[in-house]
Amino acid sequence: MTQDYFDRFFAGETLAASRLMSVVEAGGEEGEEVLNRLFPKVGSAYRIGVTGFTGAGKSTLVDAVSRRYRDAKKSVGVIAEDPSSPFTGGAILGDRVRMQQASDDGVFIRSIASRGSETGLSACATELADVLDAFGRDIIFLETIGIGQLEYRIRHIAHTTCVVVTPDAGDDVQSLKSGLMEVGEIFVVNKADRENAKRYADDLRSMIELRANSDWLPPVVETAGTSGEGIDELHDAIERHREYLSHDGRLEAKRAEALRNRMTLVADERLRKLFWENDYIRKKLDGMVDLVTAGKKSPYEAAREILEPFAINSRK
């Protein structure tokens, strides 16, 4: 990666940003080098996570809310994890992607395919958000699918996490996964044009009140992404949460926690690799396989013995 790219990136050239994102997305040493170079410039963007199942209306909502920020002269970036065809749902967003290629209207959209591990995916979303942050975007939306462990991790990738749900017939709020309930700082009941939306939102409010355990009570906003209903309320709820975080060092604490989490994830990944590629460990493992196969040790005793030299702190 030549200096030229960084110069063009810091001069605000969209193509250079796309290029750096591709390098970061590819990972490896070159990607890390880019992140190291950009890191001093990372930290001023406000990150809004939007999570929920595919088809809930996340892209539609991100598009609508991002317009509010654009109207307020804020620059916007979007990182969207989209397993199907990116943004097919939102014709508006589709148009915008096309527009983007011709001119930068202040919204930079990048979709990432949901491949690889969940950890890899959320790390990648965070890293791409870092690039947009260094690029000077004021607001960054991170659209992720609320499945598996990912929903727990989104808390480390966004400042404000919005969980988007829909009042699907036959489903009641009890069926919402507790992972989603835990990460939501704002709940959005989208497709408010559906008949049972109101009741669904009220049930959700009662459930949230019962679970409330911090001085931020997550609001439930009813929206209809396609007609624009409730978009102002959603924007206001995000701004209220941002205001809440700006007091008592909450934002700084959240940022520190996220960075700690990131360091742990990166170190964890490397540690495993270092460990299993280490000659001593490989030989030890081979020897244990023989012993276990011969019935002389159980796999648990073997695993314990392999780890024994590293258990210094926990020895009694």
Ligand X SMILES: Nc1nc2c(ncn2[C@@H]2O[C@H](COP(=O)(O)OP(=O)(O)O)[C@@H](O)[C@H]2O)c(=O)[nH]1
| Site residues for Mg ion per CB under 5 A | 58-59
Are the C-beta atoms of 26 and 140 separated by less than 8 Å?
no
Looking at the Cβ atoms of 16 and 59, the one nearer to ligand X is: 59
Distance in Å, CB of 230 to Mg ion, minimum: 18
Residues that bind ligand X (rule: CB under 6 A) add up to a total of: 16
- Of 51, 60, 111, 122, the one binding ligand X (CB under 6 A) is 60
- For the chain, list the strands marked E by DSSP: 46-52, 76-81, 107-112, 139-145, 160-165, 186-189, 220-222
Alpha-carbon distance 34 to 5, whole Å? Answer: 10
Distance in Å, CB of 60 to Mg ion, minimum: 8
Q: Give the position of tokens 């919005």.
A: 162
Looking at the Cβ atoms of 58 and 191, the one nearer to Mg ion is: 58
Taking CA atoms, 298 is separated from 126, 281, 311, in Å, by: 41, 18, 19
Closest residue by beta carbon to ligand X: 89
Alpha-carbon distance 152 to 49, whole Å? Answer: 12
- Of 31, 86, 89, 146, the one binding ligand X (CB under 6 A) is 89
Taking CA atoms, 62 is separated from 143, 153, 162, 225, in Å, by: 8, 20, 10, 9
CB within 8 Å of 128: residues ≥ 6 apart:
21, 24, 25, 79, 110, 112
Are the C-beta atoms of 223 and 61 separated by less than 8 Å?
yes
Report the partner that residue 224 touches, choosing among ligand X, Mg ion, none (CB closer than 5 to 8 A by kind).
ligand X
Distance in Å, CB of 171 to Mg ion, minimum: 20
- Of 47, 58, 68, 235, the one binding ligand X (CB under 6 A) is 58
Residue 49 sits in the site that holds ligand X (CB under 6 A): no
Within 171-210, the residues that bind ligand X by CB under 6 A are 190-191, 193
- Per-residue x/- track, 218-257, ligand X (CB under 6 A): ------xxx-------------------------------
Are the C-beta atoms of 52 and 146 separated by less than 8 Å?
yes
- Of 21, 23, 24, 59, the one binding ligand X (CB under 6 A) is 59
Alpha-carbon distance 64 to 62, whole Å? Answer: 5
Looking at the Cβ atoms of 131 and 224, the one nearer to ligand X is: 224
Report the partner that residue 86 touches, choosing among ligand X, Mg ion, none (CB closer than 5 to 8 A by kind).
none
Looking at the Cβ atoms of 89 and 179, the one nearer to ligand X is: 89
Distance in Å, CB of 224 to ligand X, minimum: 4
Report the interface residues with ligand X, using CB under 6 A: 52, 54-60, 89-90, 190-191, 193, 224-226
